[in-house]
Structure 1
Amino acid sequence: IDLETYIYWSGDIGRQFAEALAERARAAVKVHVLIDWIGSRKVDSRDLAMMREAGVEVEKYNPLVWFNLARLNHRDHRKLLIVDGEIGFIGGAGLADIWQGNADAPNHWRDTQFRLEGPAVGQMQAAFMDNWTKTTGRVLDNEDYFPELRPAGDHYAQVFFSSPRDGTETVRLMYLLAIAAAQKNIRLSASYFVPGALTTEELVDASKRGVNVEIIVPGAKTDVPIARYASRSKWGPLLKAGIKIYEYEPTMYHCKVMIVDDVWVTVGSANFDNRSFRLNDEANLNVYSAEFAAEQARAFEEDKTSAKLISYKEWKNRGLCTKLLERILAPFRSQL
């Protein structure tokens, strides 16, 4: 069992996972857990001790060291779980009680997570091995981790990962290429939507050539209010170009999904912001399938029923204090 996650917090979910992983380790299953040093700051040390005592290998990614403070800004934002090298789980959900429900209460976030089987699980395993090797210096490379995988369905799928350590902006390029290729529609669910100049230009160009662009973002119920202000400050050109932006109202909207032309979907840990594009380690699942895209489009349309459409007039007439706060936050957009 290989688990890599940004958030691992104390609570019912954290304890249940610790108990389940410890039980498997005691049954002689090799269990590797990689959690982000900052994202796991709320984890119960007793849960970690329980796992380690049972034989689980638990490592923290990029802990604080005095000789390299800059690496604190480079976090492991991936959310991966791989079992026997054959079954994988990927999406936006971490390990905390806020993911117990499905937007059925204000303290239960709305999110999207998928179970994956087939050859693409090998790519997911490679994503886990990337940071496991960087953190521990150990390579896990036998058939227990990379068994022969046969197709398990009809959908074309791939898992890819990015890291600033490798000098790549894979996530950003993936979004830009998908937007540039769109011919009919783009549906974007974005928990943290802070577009830069180039991504804004691409979205505006898509709308101008007749692509119907719709975006759902968190509303007032957000865990990072400053990200919401930074996001809203960038909406002018998008709304003016006819792009529809909705704010989800029931609870925190943590989905990270884009559907293009009802045939291609990307989902995973990557947000639509500079932090995911250039600072954090991310992993996404891409699926090329009209059937799968239709399922995600239905979920998107259902989310719209619980979201408020923001007009250009409403955005332009936002309060003076809001505009002032947006200006104050402008220098920090690259970190959001």
Structure 2
Amino acid sequence: MTVAVRWRRHLLWILIGALGAALTGIILLNVWPQENQLEQRLGHVSAVESAQFRRELGTLLGPSVSEGNAVADFQNGEEIFPAMLAAIRSARHSINMETYIYWSGEVSKQFIAALTERARAGVKVHVLADWLGSTRMKQDAIDALRDGGVRFEYFHPLHWYSLDRINNRTHRKLLIVDGEVAFNGGVGIADAWEGNGLQPDRWRDMQFRVDGPAAAQMQAIFGDNWLATTGEALLGPDYYPETPARGDLAVQAFASSPEGGSENMQLMYLMAINGARRRIDLEAAYFVPDELTLTALRDALKRGVRVRLVVPGPHVDSTIVRNASQAQWGAMLQAGARIYRYQPALFHNKLMIVDGYLTIGGSANFDNRSFQLNDESNINIYDHAFAAHMTEVIDQDIARSHELTLAQWRERPWRQRVFDWLSSQAAEQL
């Protein structure tokens, strides 16, 4: 072997090593926490029905509780999409939409038609879609939006200079119209969400519409990511008008992101769990809590709090997440929780109701990805009557579910137990 050949091989191994080191560095930058995370149990937390709880949650999470709002819930695509499209068509000044999933299809065409019609009428329309979540959005759909006057941008598209942020996605599902009406929930712009939540090939989900001052809080959440993406600040009465009271509900909209308070979402859930005195109803499409959150739920059960948990049944979009979640169920069942597996369709709800008073909904899942890696947006609604209505929604889901017992969980095959344990080892990235 000549000296030249040996040097070429030596150089090749150096390049391979450098590439491996670079890839390892990129992976570590994406998975390593960007700031200190919650590690200790919370101390005493006031009851969720107390004024002190509202005061503390409003102060810690940023926006205070906003009075004078009206809130409506919409169940599944058959209710959600018509409501969102009607709001878009009513726009006079501005439309801002941020979504994790925007997939080409019939639903996409309906939104493109509504958004571009308003843009051509002079309404300022901005759409921010997650680059990774919207990979099934074809170029002709993007072209149709832009040609129709819509400002369309991707959140964290793939570039060499942003590889350290590829694991940070916007999982928010926001729509704000004229700064006065806002939607928040779990629905993506895709045909998979059509229907009534009872078909195996469709998703069971919900969305909330907020009319009133709290819509401005959601406008600010969108504006933050639009500014980070484009460098453009959206200001003025077209986005932030003076909004009179539209109802009598107290609402708080808040957000979390790795770059600006990733602990907000988990802190909110921990405070709600620790502030529970009687009951917690939780619907979780992806239930993979860390040990701190799992301990909080078990402590609530020890205090005598009734805990009901609704999770996906036979229809799932991620087997590894289902297995990791299943690994957690035993501890919950042993502590006294009741777990129900939704049967008819792919279950995608994110909802918590505490003591028949505090209703929490939005885009955040009950897992580490939502607590620390994603950009998320939720709303808190403080009202007994609204909580009672949403409890009826949960009761309907439970009626369509099979309850899982501790004996059934223990009887699952040994291979499934192995898969569950292996999946749970990746919980920090799920």
Q: Which amino acid aligns with 1:240?
A: Q
Deviation digits for residues 80-132 of structure 1, max 9, x if unmatched? Answer: 00011111111111100111112132122111111111110000000100100
CA contact (8 A) 1:247 1:308 kept: yes
* Aligned counterpart, 2:189: 95
Shift of 1:65: 1.4
Secondary structure of the 2:132 match is coil
Query: What residue number does 1:147 align with?
Result: 241
TM-score, normalising length from structure 1? 0.98
Deviations 1:283-310 (A, max 9, x none): 0011000111011000000100111111
Q: Offset of 1:167 from its aligned partner?
A: 3.8
For 2:288, what is the secondary structure of its paired residue? coil
Aligned twin of 2:361: 267
Q: Secondary structure at the match of 2:109?
A: helix
> In the alignment, does 2:65 pair up with 1:65?
no
In 1, the alpha carbon distance for the partners of 2:310 and 2:421 equals 23
Match status 1:277 vs 2:358? no
Contact 1:86 1:147 in 2 (8 A): yes
2:106 paired residue among 1, 6, 12: 12
Q: What is the SS of the residue equivalent to 2:129?
A: strand
Shift of 1:195: 1.2
Specify the alignment match of 1:310 in structure 2: 404
Contact 1:25/1:55 (8 A) holds in 2: yes
Cα distance between partner residues in 1 of 2:138 and 2:156: 19
Specify the alignment match of 1:41 in structure 2: 135
C-alpha displacement at 1:238, in angstroms?
0.9
Question: Aligned pair 1:121/2:240, yes or no?
Answer: no
SS at match of 2:402: strand
Whole-Å Cα distance in 1 between the matches of residues 145 and 116 of structure 2?
5
1:138 aligns with 2:221: no
Q: Secondary structure at the match of 1:13?
A: helix
My pick for the range that moved more, 296-305 or 317-326, is 317-326
Q: Answer yes or no: is the 8 Å Cα contact 2:262–2:373 preserved in 1.
A: no
Moved more, 65-74 or 118-127: 65-74
How far, CA to CA, are the matches of 1:315 and 1:195 in structure 2? 18
CA distance in 1, matches of 2:378, 2:228: 19
The 3-state SS of whatever aligns with 2:243 is coil
**2:279 and 2:307 in contact (8 A); partners too:** yes
| Cα distance in 1 between the residues matched to 2:215 and 2:233 | 18
Answer yes or no: is 1:173 the counterpart of 2:305.
no
Give % identity. Answer: 49
Structure 1 segments unaligned to the other structure (5+ residues): none
CA gap of 1:68–1:51, structure 2 versus 1, over 3 A, is closer
Written as runs of structure 1 = structure 2, the 5 A alignment for 1:238-277 is 238-277=332-371
Superposition CA RMSD, Å: 0.9
Cα deviation 1:154-174 (Å, max 9, x = unaligned): 111011011111143111000
CA distance in 1, matches of 2:162, 2:192: 33
**Residue number in structure 2 paired with 1:230:** 324
Q: Contact (CA 8 Å) 2:280, 2:305: kept in 1 or not? A: yes
- Residue deviations 1:299-334 (CA, integer Å, cap 9, x gap): 000100111111111111211111111222233110
Query: Alignment partner of 1:48: what SS?
Result: helix
Distance 2:262 2:288 in 1: 19
Three-state SS of the structure 1 residue aligned to 2:347 is coil
Contact map agreement 2:156 2:162 (CA 8 A) in 1: no
Moved over 4 A (4+): none
The structure 2 residue matched to 1:208, chosen from 302, 317, 338, is 302
SS at match of 2:270: helix
Contact conserved, 1:102 with 1:111, CA < 8 A, in 2?
no
Tell me if structure 2 keeps the 8 A contact 1:196–1:274.
Answer: yes
Question: Retained in 2: the 8 A contact 1:9–1:44?
Answer: yes
Structure of greater Rg: 2
Helix, strand or coil: the match of 1:275? helix
Deviation of 1:150 (Å): 1.6
> 2:416 is matched with which residue?
322
